Structure formats: structure tokens, C-alpha cells
Chains A and B, each alone.
Chain A
């Protein structure tokens, strides 16, 4: 049987595992930087909302629309990456969401904040936590496997 030629490296194709790994390394650093930066920034008070009803409606309508768009986008991800890489990303994303929700919940307990020094979480903290957790879980799943 003929031996096929040496595989070529594609930036975002079936051989994208290294690209994705590099991307997650950057996501980890970005998340870390966001969290550290926010710890040294003064917390700005939330401004009064001019029209609470319109704001709520915008969120109620906007979230499903954005979610629908991202479902389509994730289909593109699934087609452009191989199943293994996509499974790594999807499993790590699940961990990231749960981590973000859990930390958000924990930060609402005053006694825990006093005990651990955890401050009230801000918008950018959520992004930082999610990115860092997503990247960390990705590397753990790569090391430990998907079982």
C-alpha cells in the first residue's frame, strides 16, 4: 500500500489542534490579565437605568437572537474543526460556564468574601473567569482525555 505524503499544516482546518491550543494559551493569559487588572481598578457604581422596561426587553429579545446566531456560528466551528478538537472545546466551555456561575454565586456571600478576600465580581471579572476557566479546562481535558 502506498504511503501518503506528509500531512500539511492548515491554519484552521482538520489539523488545527495546535492552532486551537495556541489560541487557548492566549485566552488564559487574557483572562488572567482581566482579573488582575480589575483587582487594582476602582469599582465604578452602576449608573441609574433610564428606562428599565426597555432595558429588560432589549435583553429578553437580544439574548435569544444572539444565541441563535451563535448556534449557527458553532455549526461552522464544528465543520471547520475535527470532532476531537470540537469536543475538547465544548467540554471545556461547559466547565467554564459552571465555574463562572459558581463563582458568581459564591461572591454574593458576604462571609465568604470576608473569609477569602474575594471582592464583588464585575462585568469584566465574569469575562476573565470564563476565559481563564475555559482555557484551563481545555488543557486539563487534553491531558486527561475526554472520558
Chain B
């Protein structure tokens, strides 16, 4: 059987996370762990953490996934996107000793999304695949700034500093990269009157 790091390709992250959410399935959770722990570990190490800190955060992320799975729904985004956001928050929480601010679906102040549809889950999956393809096809110089933003959590001026480039150059590469992704992403929010 075709495998991904020794695990069957049928181990689709979205299906696994649904099983964790709906039936508290530990086998599905372990499969998610085997799929994501080495990637989360790679991401934490790339962000400059040592082996011990990185593994502590990997554990922290996977615990949050287990306990907060009820908050995930496939209509809102892929399992990978949700876990990315959790990993980002865990990393910042550990560094700043504070909770990364995030909106809350149960907030009385939340303005609901009128465009939300029941068939969004399928659309989210297609989008995720398309985004993955678009990212893999980015030219090297654009991929470099996108990776610096996502893996190193750097803003444009910091990326420019790190690469020894003008801020304008980094901004235009990011704009080009996002422009390519924009084919598949929601257009930027327009300024109103």
C-alpha cells in the first residue's frame, strides 16, 4: 500500500480530526500525531527553538488539538490550517507568556458571516489543495519571503534586514507571491467610502 512516512495515505487529516472531534478516537489522534508531530517539530526548529523547547511545544499543540477539537469545523478551514493556527498561538504564548488574541465564535459581539453555506467543507478542501499547488510553484525568490514570513514569523522590514534586501523589494516579492495565491484566495478586502 502507498504510504506517507509509514502511514496509509487514506489517513486524511480532515477525516482524522473529524473522528477525534466526534468520537474521541485515540487511534485517529495517534495517526494525526504521526502525520503532524514531525512537521510541527520541523516548524518549531526552523523558528529557532532548540530540540527540547520544540518538542515541548509539539506536545502542547497536540494536547490543544485533542482538547479543543470541538471548536474545529471543516467548513471553516482544513485540519492543517487549524493546526497551523494552534501552533502559531502556542509558540507566541510560550514566548510572550500571554494568550495570542483570537476571535471567538461564542462571542456576543461577533458579527456572523452571512455568506456561510453548508457545502463549504468541500470548497475548503478544494481551496486547500489549490493553495498547496500554488505555493509549491512559487519562484525561488518569492518562496523565500513567504517562508521567512510563515516559518520565522517576520514582518516585511525584518525579512528585508535578514536577507539584506530593500524593504520595497521584499514587499513587491510578497505582493507577487500573494498575487499568485490570490487566484485561489479570497480577494483582499476593499476600502469602502
Q: Do A and B come from one complex?
A: no
Name B residues whose Cβ lies closer than 8 Å to a Cβ of A.
none
Name A residues whose Cβ lies closer than 8 Å to a Cβ of B.
none
